[in-house]
Amino acid sequence: MLAFLVRRLLIGAVTLLLITFILYGLIRKMPGTPLTVNMAEVDPSKRLSPEDLERLNKAYGLDKPWTTAYVYWLGNVFRLDLGSSFTFKQPVLKVIVDRLPATLVLSITSITMSYLVSIVLGLFSAARNGRVEERALSGGLYLLYSFPVVVAAVFLQYWFAVQLKWLPIYGMRSTEIYNNLTTFERVRDILWHSVLPIVCETYGVLAYYTRFVHTNLQEVIRQDYVRTAKAKGVGPVRVLVHHAFRNTLIPLVTMLGLTLPALLSGAIIIERIFAWPGMGQLFFNSITERDYPVIMGLVLMFSMLTLAGQLLADVLYALVDPRVRLS
């Protein structure tokens, strides 16, 4: 186990190095720098004079070739210093951590909901396997699965926000009144704003998870111990939940590890559509503003989470099922 962990961590470290190296190069090759992109667009007269530009370039280390700059950046990362953002004039870590709660509100709710709903739906379709209602359910879920998130978001916005006026169209809080609200009302306000983004983030994966639960159950139901349980007179619901479903938990737990990166990066597009002030917004803005340190910080975080998720899936698998040996 230990040897396995050490080996995987080493490989992961090499992968991370390669990823950051490639992306650092790419980002520095984008036309424009954080110093030129902003000013020129706002007002031509605000454009920096060549001398100032040179001075600032030097101060931010933009005059060095990117390979050298990468080595500096890497050295700082080892000292847990991700640099400071050009746009926000704050340490990158703080910028990212500030955005974290907003993203987590969406992703944690959506992951929990999708698991709960798909376990229920999976149990239902295993119990009704092959009948009309199961067919209809899986067909409907398949349609949802193919429904593009951008299209769904725009449809929902149009229907629920523009036509019916039930829900806010975007943003995370009602800006005009938010400061006058009590704590309870504030929570309600944020929840109200989060309904549409959460629905958008959740509906697509339902089909995938439900089918996952369903096929696993289908396999377990054929086992002898399920037949034994039925033979000794256990009711159908109890057989399904206690005898069959418990034994499908292993693959489900493993999948939890793989959803880890989705916790922070899953909603990039959705956040952008709903102007939700989280990680996704930050990422899009930092790309357009060429905010190198923020982009690199986010890239580092996303890829670390992906690697950690894969590792977690493997480790969980071995922990839950003692028959699995890691090697």
Of the candidate residues 2, 31, 78, 236, the single one contacting other proteins (CB under 8 A): 31
Q: How far is the CB of 204 from other proteins (least distance, A)?
A: 10
Task: Confirm or reject binding of residue 10 to other proteins (CB under 8 A).
Answer: no
Q: Contact at 8 Å (CB) between 278 and 123?
A: no
SS3 84: strand
- The Cα 62–Cα 121 span in angstroms is 54
* Angle CA 237–240–245, to nearest 5: 140
Q: Which stretch binds other proteins (CB under 8 A): 21-29, 53-61, 106-114, 183-191?
A: 21-29
Task: Confirm or reject binding of residue 209 to other proteins (CB under 8 A).
Answer: no
Of 17 and 241, the one with the shorter C-beta distance to other proteins is 17
Q: Which stretch binds other proteins (CB under 8 A): 81-89, 93-101, 176-184, 263-271?
A: 263-271
Of 31 and 236, the one with the shorter C-beta distance to other proteins is 31
Of the candidate residues 5, 150, 241, 258, the single one contacting other proteins (CB under 8 A): 150
- The Cα 23–Cα 26 span in angstroms is 5
Task: Confirm or reject binding of residue 303 to other proteins (CB under 8 A).
Answer: yes
58: exposed, middle or buried (Cβ count in 10 Å: 0-12, 13-18, 19+): exposed
Cα torsion 216, 222, 223, 228: sign: positive
Task: Confirm or reject binding of residue 29 to other proteins (CB under 8 A).
Answer: yes
Distances from the Cα of 160 to the Cα of 88, 109, 170, 222, angstroms: 34, 20, 11, 45
Q: Which stretch binds other proteins (CB under 8 A): 52-60, 83-91, 121-129, 302-310?
A: 302-310
* Angle CA 107–252–240, to nearest 5: 120
Task: Confirm or reject binding of residue 158 to other proteins (CB under 8 A).
Answer: yes
Phi–psi pair at 97, nearest 5 degrees: -65, -35
Strands of the chain, DSSP E: none
Q: Contact at 8 Å (CB) between 284 and 268?
A: yes
For 262, the token pair is 């989705």
Q: How far is the CB of 181 from other proteins (least distance, A)?
A: 27
By CB under 8 A, the count of residues binding other proteins is: 42
Of the candidate residues 95, 198, 263, 298, the single one contacting other proteins (CB under 8 A): 298
- The Cα 222–Cα 245 span in angstroms is 12
SS3 91: strand
In the shown chain, the binding pattern of residues 105 to 144 toward other proteins, with x for contact by CB under 8 A and - for none, equals -------------------------------------xx-
Task: Confirm or reject binding of residue 208 to other proteins (CB under 8 A).
Answer: no
Of 201 and 229, the one with the shorter C-beta distance to other proteins is 201
Provide the β-strand partners of residue 84: 91
In the shown chain, the binding pattern of residues 165 to 204 toward other proteins, with x for contact by CB under 8 A and - for none, equals ----x-----------------------------------
Q: How far is the CB of 66 from other proteins (least distance, A)?
A: 12
Q: How many residues does the chain have?
A: 327
Which residue reads 């667009």 in tokens?
A: 41
Task: Confirm or reject binding of residue 88 to other proteins (CB under 8 A).
Answer: no
Contacts to other proteins by CB under 8 A: 14-15, 18-19, 22-23, 26-27, 29-31, 142-143, 145-151, 154-155, 157-158, 162, 169, 261, 265, 268-269, 272-273, 283-284, 287, 295, 298-299, 302-303, 306-307
